[in-house]
Amino acid sequence: MLRRRIIDEWFMSDNVQAAVVRMEALVPELDDAALQWASRLGLALHGDADFALQLGPAGLQLSELGDKAPGPVKVDFVEGAVAHRRLFGGGSGQMIAKAVGIQQGIRPVVLDATAGLGRDSFVLASLGCNVSMIERQPLIAALLEDGLARARLDLDVAPICARMRLLQGNAIELMSAWQGDAPQVIYLDPMFPHRDKSALVKKEMRLFRPLVGDDQDAPALLAAAMALATHRVVVKRPRKAPIIEGFKPGYALEGKSSRYDIYPLKKLQ
């Protein structure tokens, strides 16, 4: 099988070592589309790689290369774990729904400033919230963009994705220069050494940490969110993790492995 290989050194922040990423078209018919992604992401055409952004008939996926590497990660809002959660996850009774203030007759406008693969944003959109998402890592943003595009072709999921908007860039800068109506709720889930031992989370953390690292700027991220949100800020943390420096939450919702720190500013109604 002919594969187009595109390689680049990807530097994301001072606390992340250089990771070499290449792009592969998994079938020859997608060579041109892969080149378009490469041009857009600024990738080169030489060398070896630690990771591969792969384009196949089922969309984009990110893979770590090597004999003991986990399987690829992709965004899929139509099938798999996200679909199961949409159908059987507990609806507005979920802790994240309570954290952002969803209740009868209230569906706040939400900004997810650390979107990642968009799972939490999708949950909130599936419950009726309009959600803007910010993802600063271009490779992860590409996975999310591709997943949204495919999901919008599905009759059941398209109405949910219509309530989701993706922005790629630095969340602190984008929030500080926000245009238009401010979000009622800002949701943050900064990168942290999560203790969740599920295979899915472990695989994603292994893939993303060399590209993203921990969010050393979490205090600045929280400060920007507090300055922009009109009603509350919600921060997801591992259950026993310390609060983010700078502000004291009004209260917290605690689960088995995660905790939601709530910073109320104004009553949602």
163 is in an annotated binding site: no
Residues 87-92: what's their mean pLDDT?
Answer: 73
- Higher-confidence residue of 68 and 44: namely 68
Domain count across the chain:
2
In a domain, 204, yes or no: yes
Q: Is the pLDDT of residue 10 over 70?
A: no
CB of 132 closer than 8 Å to CB of 165: yes
Most confident of 45-59, 71-85, 101-115, 212-226: 101-115
pLDDT-derived band at 50 (thresholds 50, 70, 90) equals: confident
Residues 110 and 180 in one domain: yes
Q: Is the pLDDT of residue 33 over 70?
A: yes
In a domain, 121, yes or no: yes
- The residue among 64, 92, 114 that closes a domain is 64
154 is in an annotated binding site: no
pLDDT-derived band at 71 (thresholds 50, 70, 90) equals: confident
**Per-residue confidence (pLDDT) for residue 65, from 0 to 100:** 85
**Per-residue confidence (pLDDT) for residue 194, from 0 to 100:** 47
In a domain, 73, yes or no: no
Residues 29 and 118 in one domain: no
Structure-token match 């790689």, residue found: 49
- Higher-confidence residue of 58 and 195: namely 58
Query: Using alpha carbons only, how large is the chain's radius of gyration in Å?
Result: 19
Residues 137 and 251 in one domain: yes
120 is in an annotated binding site: yes
Close Cβ partners of 57 (under 8 Å, ≥ 6 residues apart): 26, 27, 30
**Per-residue confidence (pLDDT) for residue 201, from 0 to 100:** 52
**Per-residue confidence (pLDDT) for residue 208, from 0 to 100:** 65
In a domain, 108, yes or no: yes
Q: How far is CA 149 from CA 22, 58, 127, in A?
A: 22, 12, 20
**Per-residue confidence (pLDDT) for residue 7, from 0 to 100:** 32
Residues 60 and 108 in one domain: no
Residues 176 and 223 in one domain: yes
Residue type, 90: G
- Higher-confidence residue of 87 and 230: namely 230
Residues 62-87: what's their mean pLDDT?
Answer: 85
Cα torsion 239, 240, 244, 250 to 10°: value is 60
Q: Is the pLDDT of residue 39 over 80?
A: yes
In a domain, 190, yes or no: yes
Domain that holds residue 55: 5-64
Residues 99-122: what's their mean pLDDT?
Answer: 96
Q: Is the pLDDT of residue 137 over 50?
A: yes
pLDDT-derived band at 40 (thresholds 50, 70, 90) equals: very high
pLDDT of 142-178, one tens digit each? 999 999 999 999 999 999 999 999 999 999 999 999 9
- Token pair of 69, please? 């590497």
Residues 110 and 135 in one domain: yes
Residues 6-22: what's their mean pLDDT?
Answer: 51
Residue 139: CATH number of its domain: 3.40.50.150
